[in-house]
């Protein structure tokens, strides 16, 4: 009785092993890799049939000589470039721009500290050297800040900061609203 049970167990084990062996990954075989080199044959392969008789043939176009003289271009001078409607819009825009007093720009911070005498001395020396520069002293207790200039672009502000370096060791640029000069 043990014998038939053992035989059936071995038979089922054999079927399972055979099934697993067919689905298991194969170990790499020690064979030469496939040849991927392109080899040129002595004669090129011929197409199955000659199709040149079906290709269209076009005649070459005749060359036409260019004219000896180039055509003369006539220039038309513009007249009344700005019409009345555009003129009115330009006038309205100019009027609107006259009412603008502030713009986004930069000022140079040259002093930040608590001593009023130093602020005033530094202001006098800078204004004495550059009288056209505007200065702003801002006091928020207990700190004095001295700003110089109204610059619209960062490049102009950097040039102004370079002029102020002899007076101040470390000037700083600060973005702020600046006053536009409306001197006609």
The CATH number linked to 175 is 3.30.70.1070
Q: Residue 72: its pLDDT value, please?
A: 75
Picking from 14, 179, 25, 8, the residue whose alpha carbon sits closest to that of residue 104 is 179
Picking from 32, 167, 182, the residue whose alpha carbon sits closest to that of residue 101 is 182
Write the CA distances from 103 to 133, 175, 179, 180, integer angstroms: 17, 11, 7, 7
Q: Considering the domain boundaries, does residue 28 fall inside one?
A: no
Cα-trace Rg, the chain: 46
Domain carrying residue 132:
102-179
Residue 162 has pLDDT above 90, yes or no: yes
Q: Considering the domain boundaries, does residue 16 fall inside one?
A: no
Mean pLDDT of all residues in 21-37 = 60
Q: Considering the domain boundaries, does residue 149 fall inside one?
A: yes
Residues in the chain: 184
Rounded distance between C-alpha atoms, residue 35 and residue 91, angstroms: 82
Total structural domains within the chain: 1
Residue 137 has pLDDT above 70, yes or no: yes
Q: Quick check: helix, strand or coil at residue 68? A: coil
Rounded distance between C-alpha atoms, residue 136 and residue 146, angstroms: 6
Query: Which contiguous run of DSSP H or E holds residue 95?
Result: helix 84-98
Q: Quick check: helix, strand or coil at residue 142? A: coil
Provide the β-strand partners of residue 103. Answer: 178
Mean pLDDT of all residues in 157-184 = 87
Write the CA distances from 57 to 54, 61, 64, 71, integer angstroms: 9, 13, 22, 36
Mean pLDDT of all residues in 150-170 = 92
Mean pLDDT of all residues in 157-172 = 92
Which range among 14-23, 57-66, 119-128 has the greatest average pLDDT? 119-128
Q: Residue 150: its pLDDT value, please?
A: 92
Q: Residue 40: its pLDDT value, please?
A: 61
**Residues 56-92: tens digit of each pLDDT:** 888 888 887 766 676 678 887 776 666 788 889 989 9
Q: Considering the domain boundaries, does residue 21 fall inside one?
A: no
Neighbours of 111 (CB within 10 A): 22
């Amino acid at each position: 009785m043990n014998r038939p049970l053992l035989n059936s167990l071995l038979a089922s084990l054999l079927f399972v092993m055979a099934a697993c062996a067919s689905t298991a990954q194969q170990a790499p075989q020690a064979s030469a890799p496939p040849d991927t080199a392109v080899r040129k044959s002595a004669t090129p392969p011929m197409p199955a049939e000659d199709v040149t008789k079906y290709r269209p043939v076009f005649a070459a176009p005749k060359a036409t000589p260019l004219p000896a003289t180039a055509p003369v271009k006539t220039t038309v001078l513009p007249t009344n470039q700005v019409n009345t409607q555009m003129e009115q819009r330009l006038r309205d825009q100019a009027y609107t721009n006259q009412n603008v007093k502030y713009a986004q720009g930069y000022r140079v911070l040259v002093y930040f500290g608590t001593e009023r005498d130093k602020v005033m001395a530094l202001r006098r020396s800078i204004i004495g050297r550059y009288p056209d520069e505007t200065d702003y002293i801002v006091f928020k207790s207990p700190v004095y800040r001295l700003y110089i200039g109204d610059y619209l672009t960062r490049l102009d502000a950097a040039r102004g900061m370079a002029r102020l370096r002899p007076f101040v060791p470390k000037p700083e640029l600060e973005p702020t609203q600046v006053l536009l000069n409306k001197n006609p």
